[in-house]
Structure 1
Amino acid sequence: MILYVARRVLGLAGTLVGVTFVIYAMVFALPGDPVAALGGDRPLSPSVVAQLRQQYNLDEPLVVQYLLYLGGVLTGDLGSDFNGRSVAGQMAGRWPTTIALALTAWGLQIVVGVVLGVVAGLRRGSLLDRGVLLLTILISSVPVFVLGVTAQLVVGVRWQLLPIAGSSAGWPTAYLLPAAVIAVFGLAPIARLVRGSVSDTLGADFVRAHRAKGLSPRRVVGLHVMRSSAIPVLTYLAVDLGLLLGGTVVVEGIFNLPGVGQLLFSAVREQEGAIVVGVSTALVVIFLLASLVVDLVASALDPRIRRA
């Protein structure tokens, strides 16, 4: 088990370096000078430009810039923007909003998606199974901004059930509507993955053996089938949580939620490369840690994974 954990940690460390380098290169190797753009219509003096470039290591080769940035990341420093404000400090005040939104959407996806998938898997080929498949396809085809605006107009304005913008109402009132909009797009893959996993597991030899022993259907499904079916679902849910944390930009904009996604959107618009790289790095780290935790849980559920 220790060797398995060590291999996974080394693999994730290599992934972190590779992904963050690609992000850093894509941001800072683009045409244009972000320092020169700070002056707007009144260009900065050459001495000020040179000082700022030296301060932010922009006068160094790209590889050297990245290594200096990576050294800061290892000490918990995500850098600072061109106004001298810490990137980590700006993110700190926005994380609670993004985390609350992502976890609420994640919880809705797990509850509704797993229930739909289990019901469809246990009744494979039935009218209910076909209805779940059709519903997931229809939901996946609607753009997120269309669904968000429609939810605001119907649920918030016409029915007046939930607030349509801001986080002043607190959790869960202010987060249920945007979380539901995000969760809708994860229901389809989760439900279909659970349905396929449950359906395949029901035909396995060990399930037939448990039934032959006289175990009740509830025990066979609730314990043995669900345990074996949980491994691919857990793997996807870890990936899905990382996507939720990094994919709330549009929804936070629609519902005016002051989260990390809104900070990332503003940084792209204002050409604040340090913020873009810092936020992206934090999201990558969270995604990799979630993947590591799920790998460990999956290996505990199925020892064959460790041997492989």
Structure 2
Amino acid sequence: MSPYPVRRLLEAVLVFFGVTLLIYWMVYALPGDPVAALAGDRPLAPSVARALRERHHLDEPLIAQYGHYLAGLFQGDLGTDFTGRSVSEQMAERWPVTARLALTAWAIEAVAGVGLGVLAALRHRTWTDRAVLTFTIGAVSVPVFVLGYTAQVVFGVRLQWFPVAGDGAGWPSAYLLPALVIAVFGLASVSRLVRAEMVENLRADYVRTALAKGLSRRRTVVVHVLRNSMVPAITCLAIDLGYLLGGTVIVEGIFNLPGIGQLLFQAIRGHAGPTVVGVSTALILIFLVVSVLVDLVNSALDPRIRRD
């Protein structure tokens, strides 16, 4: 194995330990007693509270608690909440919803974003280029909750093209509208990246050389220009995929989709520390795996990356 993949894997491992330790510390080092908060206004019996603290190692130093958590994590255990329910089971129930939403949004983002970027670059400084730039600027300027509620009212309530909320209608009916809301922000960034890279590459010497040697413009654009322009777009798409698979809290809340984002939001509101840490750890793993894979893909597309 070449040094570059090994270096990226080692960096990912260091980031994993550093970020999970930080999250664990932020969750459990905060003032307050999570066991006492579990009972609400009625205090728990001392024996029950003591048993819960021992079971979750809350009576030990923070670094020892983190060690116990890592020991379970290496065995595939994301932890157990204070009610005795496995975090892995809770995520398994909600994962299909988030996966369907994320992959639908990501597909829209990839196809529309790259397509608009290529179109704008090939029609540089025309009304088509200006229209794409105007759309992307407007898309990223609108807060996601404003766009989500507006789309829900217009296309769900008034026009009745899509279900208003919930996943009862199944895929794609229940997922297409929230996926479009999420994808708008990502495709705006992807299209601008592809446009900027393609405009620069279309002016490069290798393009003029290829055309002078008789290579058709279409083949030059597809085989050479587009390939060299996709490195930043692939990075952006990969990061967005990790974000989407992690669950979009706001959109899942607006459209009442029972996914990972909604689970994390409920855990934060309910002070369910084990669930917050377990879900966050799973999201970190997703981001790191996707990040390493996209770096390896980029290094294959552009060998210069391996020499950095």
Deviation sequence 1:225-280 (CA, Å, 0-9, x none): 01111111111111111122235111111111111111111101111011111111
Q: How many residues align?
A: 308
Within 5 Å, which residues of 2 pair with 1:98-177?
A: 98-177=98-177
- Counterpart of 2:252, as a letter, is E
Match of 2:75 in 1: 75
Match of 2:58 in 1: 58
Match of 2:38 in 1: 38
Within 5 Å, which residues of 2 pair with 1:124-273?
A: 124-273=124-273
Shift of 1:152: 1.2
Matches of 1:133 and 1:247, distance apart in 2: 28
- TM-score, length-normalised on structure 2? 0.97
Percent identical among aligned pairs is 63
Shift of 1:3: 2.5
Matches of 1:12 and 1:114, distance apart in 2: 28
Matches of 1:235 and 1:217, distance apart in 2: 27
Q: Answer with 244-253 or 223-232: which moved more.
A: 244-253
Deviation sequence 1:63-92 (CA, Å, 0-9, x none): 111121122112110000000000001100
Deviation sequence 1:193-223 (CA, Å, 0-9, x none): 1111111111222222111111111001011
Q: Answer with 125-134 or 161-170: which moved more.
A: 125-134
- TM-score, length-normalised on structure 1? 0.97
2:102–2:247 contact (8 Å) kept in structure 1: no
- Counterpart of 1:70, as a letter, is L
Deviation sequence 1:67-118 (CA, Å, 0-9, x none): 2112211211000000000000110011110011011001111111111111
Matches of 1:203 and 1:254, distance apart in 2: 45
**Tell me, what secondary structure is at the counterpart of 1:93?**
helix
Matches of 1:247 and 1:184, distance apart in 2: 16
Matches of 1:15 and 1:208, distance apart in 2: 43
**Tell me, what secondary structure is at the counterpart of 1:35?**
helix
- Counterpart of 2:85, as a letter, is R
**Tell me, what secondary structure is at the counterpart of 2:34?**
coil
Coordinate RMSD, CA, aligned:
1.2
Deviation sequence 1:18-63 (CA, Å, 0-9, x none): 1111111111111111101112111112332222111101111111
For structure 1, the 5+ residue unaligned runs are: none
Within 5 Å, which residues of 2 pair with 1:78-89?
A: 78-89=78-89
Shift of 1:130: 2.0
Match of 2:2 in 1: 2
- Counterpart of 2:200, as a letter, is D
Matches of 1:232 and 1:139, distance apart in 2: 20
